[in-house]
Amino acid sequence: MLKLGSAFTLLALMAFTLTSCEKDIDSNPTFKANTTGFKLNVPANAANNTYDLVSSTGLNLTCSQPDFGGFPLVVDYHVQVSLKESFDSFKELDTFFSTANMSVDATELNNAMIELYTAEMGDVEYPKETRALYVRLRAVVEGQNLGEVFSNVICLPSVLATYVPPTLELPTAAYICGSSIGDAWSTWKALAPVYGMAGEFYTMLYAPDGAEFKWGEWEQDWRGYGRVTDFDDQAGAGISGEGDSNIKIANGGWYVLYITTELGTNDVKWHFHILPAKAYVIGNATGDWTDSNPAWEMTPSANAATPWESPAFTASGELRAYIKVGSIDWWRTEFTLFKGGLFWRTMDIPANWAENVGEAYSAPCAPGQKLYVNFDRNIGEVK
């Protein structure tokens, strides 16, 4: 009798021999498989049956195993579905199988049909009617990089998928990460929420020529150009990209990135507005409460590393400062200084920061002092 260790050694030698023979025949071997025997069977009564996916638990599929040369191999079967017999576009289900008898989850099939329809027709509601569904299998040898083979395509002529509206809510956060934001491709910069306007966010962004960034609802989300519904470039930044690629900015400079969102039929729509970069001081320390008064506009810095600078204050008083975002009232995009960082307004302030939020959030200003802000790092000081 062979001991267990000897048996493993023999199997390894056999595998080595098979590999060596193939290399002797062909210095650049390719995956060789007899796919003529790889057949996906049409389920019984498929021609006369309507598959109501939300009312069923699954679809049973069977197939014959591909012949990989006369010796047994463990095969993973991946189910692919399409609304077209040509399979010009298709969806591969997440669940795969290691046996030739498969119980395919009906919910996965349902969602795949909805996704395929939406990809072709846009963000519209799925019509509640039967349609043909085409199915094939993709087979790969488990754990081996030997290529893949496909089965024949079968047709289920009458399949009813049902659109289940997702529970959509306006986002509560947005982040950006890029080549010129904080530590390149490491810092996830949080956008500030516009006070009192749900699903709206803003930040000051510095971008040298050719800068790139991605975005998301949380850190490490890594969404690209194609996940943005549309771009409204009012500042001549020169936005470009495609699909999952980075969002590119052709023309360097400071910009205000203002994001608005809305609920669509199937998902949240994200609108990116690229606005001229402007920031101001206002209030008792300036002796003026006029929104966007040019006399109190901060001077932009030359790059991300150096701070913006305000005009010198003319009186004693609490700091009131803001980024100007389009036509939005100044107090909706206001900030103060808290422990050296910028603290964005998210609450009602009928009097002032000291009374309504707390002394720690109130930055005193004196005549002759200025506000200095690094908008890339969101830090600042009055001196």
Q: Please give the Cα distance from 259 to 218 (Å, whole number).
A: 15
| Cβ atoms within 10 Å, residue 371 | 25
Q: Please give the Cα distance from 267 to 273 (Å, whole number).
A: 19
Q: Using CA of residue 290, residue 296, residue 299, residue 304, what is the dihedral sign?
A: negative
pLDDT number for residue 2: 37
> What residues contact residue 66 under an 8 Å CB cut-off, 6+ apart?
33, 34, 35, 37, 38, 75, 139, 149
pLDDT number for residue 143: 73
pLDDT number for residue 203: 98
pLDDT number for residue 368: 98
Backbone angles phi, psi at 12, to 5 degrees: -65, -40
Q: Which amino acid is at 263?
A: L
Per the confidence metrics, is the pTM higher than 0.85?
no
Residues in a beta bridge with 364:
318
Whether the Cβ atoms of residue 117 and residue 163 lie closer than 8 Å to each other: no
> What residues contact residue 74 under an 8 Å CB cut-off, 6+ apart?
98, 141, 142, 143
CA-only gyration radius of the chain, Å: 30
**The tokens of 129 are what?**
């009617």
Q: Please give the Cα distance from 154 to 40 (Å, whole number).
A: 7
pLDDT number for residue 71: 63
Task: With a cut of 50, list the residues of the chain below it in pLDDT.
Answer: 1-30
Whether the Cβ atoms of residue 107 and residue 53 lie closer than 8 Å to each other: yes
Whether the Cβ atoms of residue 204 and residue 303 lie closer than 8 Å to each other: no
| Cβ atoms within 10 Å, residue 332 | 16
pLDDT tens for each residue of 68-87: 766 667 889 999 999 999 99
Q: Please give the Cα distance from 251 to 373 (Å, whole number).
A: 23
